[in-house]
Structure 1
Amino acid sequence: MTVFSLTSIATPRSPLLLPVMAALLVVSWSSGFVGIRYANEQASVSLLLFWRTLLSGIILLPFALAFGPKMRLRAVLSQVWFGVMAVFVYLGGFALAIEQRIPTGLVALISDLVPLAIAAMAQPLLGERLTARQWLGTAIAVSGVLMVSFDSLSLGTAPFWAYGVTVGSMLAFALASVLRRGRVSLHMPVHQSLCVHTLTGAVLFGVCAMAQGGIAPPMTREFAIGMAWLVLVATFACYSVYYTMLRLCPVAKVSAAIYLSPPVTMIWSWMLFSEPLSVAMFVGLAVTLGGVWLTSRG
C-alpha cells in the first residue's frame, strides 16, 4: 500500500479523533507485514497470498457489483494491469523478502518509500519537477535505508537477491502509480478497484501456488488466525481507516502516520519472532524519517 493524493475535506474537529485514527492506521498498516511473517510459518507466501487475495476479493465482489457505477469490461481490464503491479508484484515481492527472512521492519521501511519513488519518477515521466529540498530529502531517506540494510546484512541470513526483490517491487509499484495518473479509465470507486486488484492477484498467486504443490490451505489454527488477521485487519480495516483519514485530514498528516509503521513493525517482529534489533537500525530509521519529512513538508 501507499499514499494516493485525495482532496482533504476538513481537519477533524475532535482533538482525539486524529490521534486515535492515526494509531489505528499505524497498527493496521504494520499488521500486513507482521501477518505475512506469522502466516508464513504455516505456508509458502504464494499459498497464503492466494487465500488472502481470494477471500478479500470474494467478500468485496457483491458490494462491487451492487454499489457504484456499472463495472464495464473496459474499466475492469484497465484495473487488471494495475492489480498485477500493485498486488502481485508489490505485495508478492515484499512477502517473498519476508519469507527469505529479511528483517520484517526493513521490508516495511523499503515498501513504505513508494511515495518518494513516485515523486522521483514523476519528473522524467510526467515533467513534474522536484525542488532542491525534495531531492535532498530523498537522498537522505535513501541513505537511511542503506544504513538499516547494511546493518541487517550483518545480523540476518537472508540472501542478497532478496533485498533486490524488495527494492524492485517497490519501484515497480511506484512506476505503475506514476503511469496510472491521468488515466480516466482507472477512476473507479475504491471498493470496486480493490475487488479487481485482489481477484487479479488471486489468479496469479494461485498459479504460483499450483506450481509449488497446490492451493489447499493448511488446516491449522495458526493459518486461520493469520488469514483472519490479513483479510480483516491488514486489508479491510487498514483501507477503511486510510481512506477515511484521507477525506478528513491533510494528506501530509496521513503520510506521517504511515511512516511510523516501520519502527512499529520492527518492535512487533522483535517481540513476536525474536528478529534482531540494533542501535544502527534505529539510527538509520531516524535518518530515513528525517529525509521523508524534508521531502514532504509543506
Structure 2
Amino acid sequence: MHRALIRFIPFIFVFLWSTGFIAAKYALPFIEPFYLLFIRMALTSIVFMLLCFAFKIKPLRPRQAGHQMVTGFLLHGAYLGGVFAAIKWGMPAGITAIIVGVQPVLTAFLGWCFLDERLRLAQWTGLGLGLMGVISVLLSTGQLEYVNLNWTATLASITALFGISIGTLYQKRFGADVNLLAGSFWQYISVLLLMGILAWTFEARDVVWDLQLIFALTWLVIALSVTAILLLMYMIREGETAKVASYFYLVPPVASIEAWLLFDEYLSIVSIIAIFVTVFGVYLVVRKKPE
C-alpha cells in the first residue's frame, strides 16, 4: 500500500467509526437494537462472501476460522451488543461511552502484560490525557442528566469494554497471518449467530421500513462494518495494539462535532479544549520514539 495513503488510514477509520453513533441515532427509532445488529451482520456477511469470491480468496483452515469467530464474538459481538444493551437498559449513551472510553488504557495494559509491548512514559501520559479529554467532552455536553446506573446496564457496558479490548489483543495474537476479507467474513458469521439469539430471545423484531432506516442501515454496513473494520484489522496487523487503541480516543470528540453539525447539539468551550487535549494525548502515543 502506498506510504502516503497509509498515513491517512487512522483518520479515515476514526471518521467512519464515529459516524456509527450518528447512524444508530437515525436508525433506532424504527427498529430494535439487537434486530438491527442482526440484519446488519447478515448483510455484511453477504458482502464479505461476495468479496471473497470476487478476489478468489483461499478459504481459511478450520483453526483459523475458529480464531476469527472468537475475534468477531469479542471485537464486534460483545462490544456492539454490550453498548446497545447498556443504552437499552437505561444507561445514557454518554456514560456508556465514558466506560468504554477506558479501552485504550485497558488494551495497552493487557498488551504490556500478555504481548510484551512496552510503552514509554510519554505514551502512558498520552493515554491518560486522552482518557481525561474523552471524559471531559462527554461530561461537558450534559450527558449526566437523568442517569440510571442499574447493575444490568453497568455490566453490559463493562462487557463491551473488555470485549473490544481483549478482541483487539486476540486478533493481534491469532489473526496476524489471516487474509482480511476471509477473516472478516468468519468474524461476522459469529456475530450474526450471537445477535440472532439475542434478537429472538429478547425482542419482538418489529420494523418500520422508513427511508431513514434504510439509508442508516446501508451506511452502517458499507462504511462501518466493511470499510472501517477492514481498516481496523489492517492497523491491528501492522501496528502496536496500544497505538491502534489510542485512536478510539478520537471517536467521541469527532462524534460530538458531528452531532453539533447534524443535530445542533451543544458543544461548549470546555468540550473544544478537551478535544485538543485528547488529540495531543493520541499524538504522544503514536509518535515515533526519538532517536
TM-score (norm 1): 0.76
Q: CA distance change for structure 1 residues 29 and 177 in 2, over 3 Å: closer, same or farther?
A: closer
Paired position in structure 2 for 1:267: 257
**CA shift digits 1:26-57 (9 cap, x unpaired):** 44222222111211121121111111111101
Q: CA distance change for structure 1 residues 237 and 296 in 2, over 3 Å: closer, same or farther?
A: closer
Residue 245 of structure 1, CA deviation: 8.7
Residue 175 of structure 1, CA deviation: 1.9
TM-score (norm 2): 0.78
1:248 and 1:121 mapped to 2: Cα distance? 18
Q: What one-letter code is carried by the residue in structure 2 that aligns with 1:64? A: C
The alignment status of 1:213 with 2:203, answered yes or no, reads yes
Residue 227 of structure 1, CA deviation: 1.0
Q: What one-letter code is carried by the residue in structure 2 that aligns with 1:178? A: L
1:57 and 1:265 mapped to 2: Cα distance? 26
The alignment status of 1:136 with 2:136, answered yes or no, reads no
Does the 8 A contact of 2:35 with 2:196 survive in 1? yes
The structure 1 residue matched to 2:163, chosen from 154, 163, 172, is 172
Q: CA distance change for structure 1 residues 260 and 232 in 2, over 3 Å: closer, same or farther?
A: same
Give 3-state SS (helix, strand or coil) of 1:69's partner. Answer: coil
Paired position in structure 2 for 1:56: 44
Higher relative contact order (CA 8 A, sep 6+): 1
Paired position in structure 2 for 1:45: 33
Percent identical residues: 25
Q: CA distance change for structure 1 residues 59 and 254 in 2, over 3 Å: closer, same or farther?
A: same
Does the 8 A contact of 1:30 with 1:108 survive in 2? no
Residue 164 of structure 1, CA deviation: 6.6
Residue 165 of structure 1, CA deviation: 4.3
Tell me how many residue pairs correspond in the alignment.
Answer: 284
Does the 8 A contact of 2:30 with 2:207 survive in 1? no
Q: CA distance change for structure 1 residues 244 and 127 in 2, over 3 Å: closer, same or farther?
A: closer
Q: CA distance change for structure 1 residues 213 and 136 in 2, over 3 Å: closer, same or farther?
A: closer
Paired position in structure 1 for 2:76: 87
**CA shift digits 1:168-216 (9 cap, x unpaired):** 42333212322443336x6321111111111211111111111233445
1:193-212 maps to which residues of 2 (within 5 A)? 193-212=183-202
2:122 and 2:266 mapped to 1: Cα distance? 34
CA RMSD of aligned residues (A): 3.8
| Runs of 5+ consecutive residues of structure 1 not aligned to the other structure | 1-8
Q: What one-letter code is carried by the residue in structure 2 that aligns with 1:283? A: I
| Runs of 5+ consecutive residues of structure 2 not aligned to the other structure | none
